[in-house]
Amino acid sequence: MSTKKMWGGRFARKTAASVEAYTLSVTFDRKLAAEDVAGSKAHARMLAEQGILTLEEAERIQEGLEWVRQEIAENRFEWKPELEDVHMNIEARLTDLIGPLGGKLHTARSRNDQVALDFRLYVSRRLTQWGQALANLSAVLLDRAEGQRETLLPGYTHLQPAQPVSLAHHLLAYAWMFRRDHERVTDALKRVRVSPLGAAALAGTTHPINPDSVRAALGLDAVFGNSLDAVSDRDFVAEALFVGSLIMAHLSRLCEELILWANPNFGFVRLPDAYSTGSSIMPQKKNPDVCELMRGKTGRVYGNLTALLTILKGLPLSYNRDLQEDKEPFFDTDETVRASLSIMADMMAEMGFNPENMRRSLAKGFLNATELADYLVTKGLAFREAHHATGAAVAFAEREGKGLEDLTLDDLRQFSDLIGDDVFAVLSYEAAVARRVSPGGTGQKAVDRQVDDLRAWLAGVIPAEIGG
Ligand code: ARG
């Protein structure tokens, strides 16, 4: 590797090949190329505005950067590992193209503020896509929920049958999670979209720069306040990795339910063929591999968050090379989050529901026991006593192999003489759901209000997505 190092002035011997391979980042940070060029163009423009470069010099630099951008976009760019990273590859090529003037671009700038800027621009672009994908998935869930307001299934606590709920209500629970994730993305973006350029290596610069001009040219929202912090802050990456982790947690919970629901013992859903796989040995199998992998990939996404937090914990101010390790965890999380959100949206759009099996399961777990207890309360019994009497009725029905709704009035009156003919209307599962119209409840009227609320939220975020 013979290319002269940009920082080679004070070195007498060349870098060991093993060290070159160990320290280089161009194999992965070339993902930041578009951001690097955009940041450099904005920097050159500002240098001219401030009289640090002439207008003509800045124009030639910007023109040269545009050629470089095109070479990269069209895959004609020759990446050189001996040039270490994306920044030096681009600057070297610029100098090839426009001559020694290329060397003036780095005036009043360091790779330390440069890489922070590039990465902030990159994370901002990707988080904006996460936001769109979250809104899209929520819209799919909302569409599917609207068609399932009358489908009832067991609601569970402790994975034991608890009370009947509507499938719409169950699906919307996830839409609320993804809505909160969307809010977290929007909030994190406020701290991502801060320009660090002008911090230079760590202490600012003696050149009369104007960091706000760079910020404005790049459409960012704010400028750094402290140069030491600006070059060493990776909070924005940690936040993005956390937001990604929580998105995956929510997806993973949904996956876990789909895996259970696809099991014939539940039989609540039919996985679309395009989103399941077969077994090479057992011909009857239809496996929920997509859901399993999404659940599994969640582990790796958590690992990325832990990796970054651990990288940061012992770093003295300001920039340390450890920070180069911030990129791969984010790239990996980003790929997983985007693919998972998009696949989940497509899969949910096609998910087959089996309302008959859901309905049949309702009869298995005394899901109307709370109804009987509440009924006795309305007849004047204290809740504790009503609970006890209902428990005894459940034990009786269990011995008889029946549901509460299958018992006769005489059977039921053994447990309380407050029970009358009107009890059977109360024991109906449909009634149990329909009557739960308390705010946020599973009753249709309450579910309608959720749908309206979520629709209004989506109308606000879908056309005018954050950050452009
Ligand atoms: N590749 C480096 C990184 O990602 C760029 C900054 C290098 N700065 C330095 N002083 N060596 O962090």
Classify residue 305 as exposed, middle or buried by CB count within 10 Å of its CB (0-12, 13-18, 19+). Answer: buried
For residue range 223-266, list pLDDT tens digits in order. Answer: 999 999 999 999 999 999 999 999 999 999 999 999 999 999 99
Tell me: pLDDT of 33 over 50.
yes
Return the axis-axis angle of helices 369-378 and 383-400, rounded to nearest 10°. Answer: 140
Q: Which ligand 1 atom is nearest residue 326's CA?
A: 4
Name the amino acid, one letter, at 445: K
For residue range 339-355, list pLDDT tens digits in order. Answer: 999 999 999 999 999 99
Compute the mean pLDDT over every residue in the chain, rounded to the nearest whole number. Answer: 95
Active-site residue set: 158, 279
Kindly state if the Cβ of 227 falls inside 6 Å of ligand 1. Answer: no
Ligand 1 pocket test target in 19, 79, 84, 85 with most atoms within 8 Å of CB: 85
For residue range 362-379, list pLDDT tens digits in order. Answer: 988 899 999 999 999 999
Residue whose token pair is 């340390």: 320
- Alpha carbons 338 and 244: distance in angstroms, whole number: 9
Q: Which ligand 1 atom is nearest residue 86's CA?
A: 1
- Alpha carbons 273 and 15: distance in angstroms, whole number: 54
Kindly state if the Cβ of 89 falls inside 6 Å of ligand 1. Answer: no
3-class state of residue 198 by DSSP: coil
Yes or no: say if 108 and 47 are a contact pair by the CB < 8 Å rule.
yes
* Number of C-beta neighbours around residue 164 at 10 A: 27
Residue whose token pair is 């809010």: 183
Domains and CATH numbers, the chain: 22-107 (1.10.275.10), 112-147+163-206+220-361 (1.20.200.10), 369-427 (1.10.40.30)
pLDDT band at 468 (very low <50, low <70, confident <90, very high): very low
- Name, in order, each residue with C-beta under 8 angstroms of 219's C-beta and a sequence gap of 6 or more: 468
pLDDT at residue 283 in the model: 78
Kindly state if the Cβ of 320 falls inside 6 Å of ligand 1. Answer: no
Tell me: pLDDT of 415 over 70.
yes
pLDDT band at 15 (very low <50, low <70, confident <90, very high): confident
For residue range 44-58, list pLDDT tens digits in order. Answer: 999 999 999 999 999
Rounded mean pLDDT, 128-154: 97
